[in-house]
Structure 1
Amino acid sequence: MRQLRGLDLLFTIMVYSFLLLAATMAIFPLFYVLSVSFSTEYEYLTRGFFVIPKQFTLDGYLYLLSHPGFISAFRNAVIISAVGTTLNIVLTSLMAYGLSKRWLKFRNSLNFMVFFTMMFSGGMIPTYLVVRFLHLLDSFWAIWLSTAIAPFNVIVMRSFFQSMPLELEESARMDGSGEWRLFWSIIVPLSIPVIATFTLFYLVTNWNTYFSAILYLNDAKLMPLQVFLRQMLVEDDPTISNATNVLYKYTPAVKMAAIILTALPLLVIFPFMQKHFNQGAMLGSIKG
């Protein structure tokens, strides 16, 4: 028994050591980026690698926040994320709720169509032709509608709705609740964990929108933050998303500040949704 306890203690120490090492490897690059964002260009070029800057400065952030292209890209990212996530979660929950009803006509065929689209997508060129035919190019609607519903999320949420007791629905109907009242007043409040989980998934996807933006948007004033960030870091183009003729110099501190400000909204939002995320991460995965 004493030997077994010793093995358990050793295993616990190994697990925590591994988790600590993994957390350090994940946090350290972000901490380095944060440190460089508060440093001067001279210190970055002369010291090479450092963890704590000797000369603390906010010039990188102030310089970046004065950039009209960054402000425009940040605003576009907020609009795309807020409206897109709202459309995503509303349409996904409504579709999943409808497919969870056994009395729905052609339910099996519709479920198969959802599953089929998860396995085989229409492809980039056909989707682009549809968007162009609908005259949605150079519009945020091209991004919102082309990614409105994720089939996998529908399937998981449908399984969650199916796991709810039928007695709950029958009791609500006996009290005179219609389909809409049943959904919004009873089903949605009971589904907060799973809705919050997929809201976070959709939010991250919309905030990180890149490929859809460069595919459907040609106007630089409509480009979201991820496009701006890539062109700043990879292409080092001083004219990106710039409504004026002013050329901007992107120092290492400015580039690192852009990374921090791009990641900051999700880092701030996640702790508030973590409780629901932990509760809803596995919901709907047991019953299919």
Structure 2
Amino acid sequence: MTHTGFGSKLFDGLNYTLLTLIAVITLYPFWDSLIVSITPLNESIASSIHLYPKTITLEAYQYLWKLDQLWTSYKVSILITVLGTVISMLATTLAAYALSKKDLPGGRVIMFAIVFTMMFSGGIIPNYLVVKQLGMLNSVWAMMIPAAIQTYNLIIMRSFFVSIPESLEESAKIDGCNDFGILMRIVIPLSMPALATISLFYAVSKWNEFFTAVMYITNKDYWPLQLFLRSMLIDNEASFQSGGDSPFLLGQSIKMATIMISTIPVMMIYPFFQRYFVQGVTLGAVKE
């Protein structure tokens, strides 16, 4: 009994130590970015490891604050995150509910075609031509409509809907409820953990939108925040290598301050949804 108790305490100790080490390794890059963003250039380049700031300066943030393009990109990112998540959730929920019905004509074929896209896609050029023909180049719709449904999220949502007892839907039908009423009054209220989880997946994906913006957006008025960040990093590097005296010579401070500005909003929202993660994904993994 004593040996068992010692083994359990030893395991707990090693487990906590390992998890603490992983947490430190995971959080350090963020901490390093924060420290460098408030540290003068000469101090930030003096050491490759930054545990605390010797001198604090907000010059990088003050410079970014005055950039009109930053706030334009912020508005675009907020728009595509909010509206894009709503569009994606609406499309994913309706598609998953329909595909969860075993009596759906051609349901298996449709599901196979959807899963097939996880392994093979049409390619960048066909996607670009489709977006161009639809007239969505240089518009926020190019970052929301083409990728409105992500296959992985659709599969999770469909599996969750399948796990809901059919008896509940049958009872609702007896009471005169149609399919849309069943979805709104029974399925969705029971699926809040999964909906919250998938919503966060979509929101983070939309907030980090970069590749589609590079492909479809050339007008700076429609740049999302991540594309602005890329521009800042490129301009900063070019200015630094040329030895000029522009504000970009704040160097690493500008880079890290821009990264912090684009990261903090997601970090502020994440804790409110994090508790749904395990429950939502686990319930979505129930076998048919």
In the superposition, the TM-score normalised over structure 2's length comes to 0.91
My pick for the range that moved more, 224-233 or 49-58, is 49-58
Partner in structure 2 of residue 227 of structure 1 = 227
Matching residue's letter, 2:203:
L
TM alignment of 1:180-219, pairs within 5 A: 180-219=180-219
Q: CA deviation at 1:57?
A: 2.7
Aligned pair count reads 281
Matching residue's letter, 2:224:
P
Q: CA deviation at 1:115?
A: 1.5
**Which blocks of at least 5 consecutive residues in structure 2 are unaligned?**
240-245
Contact 2:213/2:224 (8 A) holds in 1: yes
Contact 2:159/2:287 (8 A) holds in 1: yes
Partner in structure 2 of residue 274 of structure 1 = 274
Partner in structure 2 of residue 249 of structure 1 = 248
TM alignment of 1:1-288, pairs within 5 A: 1-45=1-45, 49-236=49-236, 248-249=247-248, 251=250, 252-288=252-288
Alpha-carbon spacing, 1:238–1:69, altered in 2? closer, same or farther (3 Å) = farther
Q: Deviations over 1:131-190 (max 9, x none)?
A: 111111111112211101111211221111111111111121222222222111221111
Alpha-carbon spacing, 1:25–1:145, altered in 2? closer, same or farther (3 Å) = same
In the superposition, the TM-score normalised over structure 1's length comes to 0.91
Q: CA deviation at 1:197?
A: 0.8
- Once the two structures are aligned, what percentage of the paired residues are identical? 38
Q: CA deviation at 1:205?
A: 1.0
Structure 1 distance, partners of 2:191, 2:183, is 10
Matching residue's letter, 1:269:
I
Structure 2 distance, partners of 1:145, 1:151, is 14
Structure 1 distance, partners of 2:260, 2:237, is 19
Structure 1 distance, partners of 2:64, 2:249, is 9
Q: Deviations over 1:197-219 (max 9, x none)?
A: 11111111111111100101111
Contact 2:37/2:60 (8 A) holds in 1: yes
Q: Deviations over 1:241-275 (max 9, x none)?
A: xxxxxx75252322211111111111011110112
Q: CA deviation at 1:60?
A: 1.9
Contact 1:232/1:238 (8 A) holds in 2: no
Contact 1:193/1:277 (8 A) holds in 2: yes
Alpha-carbon spacing, 1:19–1:68, altered in 2? closer, same or farther (3 Å) = same
Cα RMSD for the two superposed structures: 1.9
Contact 2:196/2:273 (8 A) holds in 1: yes
> SS where residue 204 of structure 1 aligns?
helix
> SS where residue 159 of structure 1 aligns?
helix
Q: CA deviation at 1:46?
A: 5.0
**Which blocks of at least 5 consecutive residues in structure 1 are unaligned?**
240-246
Contact 2:73/2:222 (8 A) holds in 1: yes
Structure 2 distance, partners of 1:70, 1:176, is 53
> SS where residue 138 of structure 2 aligns?
coil
Contact 1:238/1:248 (8 A) holds in 2: no
Matching residue's letter, 1:199:
S
Contact 1:115/1:151 (8 A) holds in 2: yes
Alpha-carbon spacing, 1:43–1:157, altered in 2? closer, same or farther (3 Å) = same
Structure 2 distance, partners of 1:238, 1:76, is 26
Q: Which of structure 1's runs of 4+ aligned residues deviate more than 6 A?
A: none
My pick for the range that moved more, 44-53 or 151-160, is 44-53
Structure 2 distance, partners of 1:147, 1:218, is 19
Structure 1 distance, partners of 2:94, 2:249, is 45
Contact 1:37/1:253 (8 A) holds in 2: yes
Matching residue's letter, 1:75:
K
Matching residue's letter, 2:99:
L
Q: CA deviation at 1:41?
A: 2.9
Matching residue's letter, 2:202:
Y
Contact 1:238/1:250 (8 A) holds in 2: no
Structure 2 distance, partners of 1:183, 1:203, is 23
Alpha-carbon spacing, 1:169–1:249, altered in 2? closer, same or farther (3 Å) = same
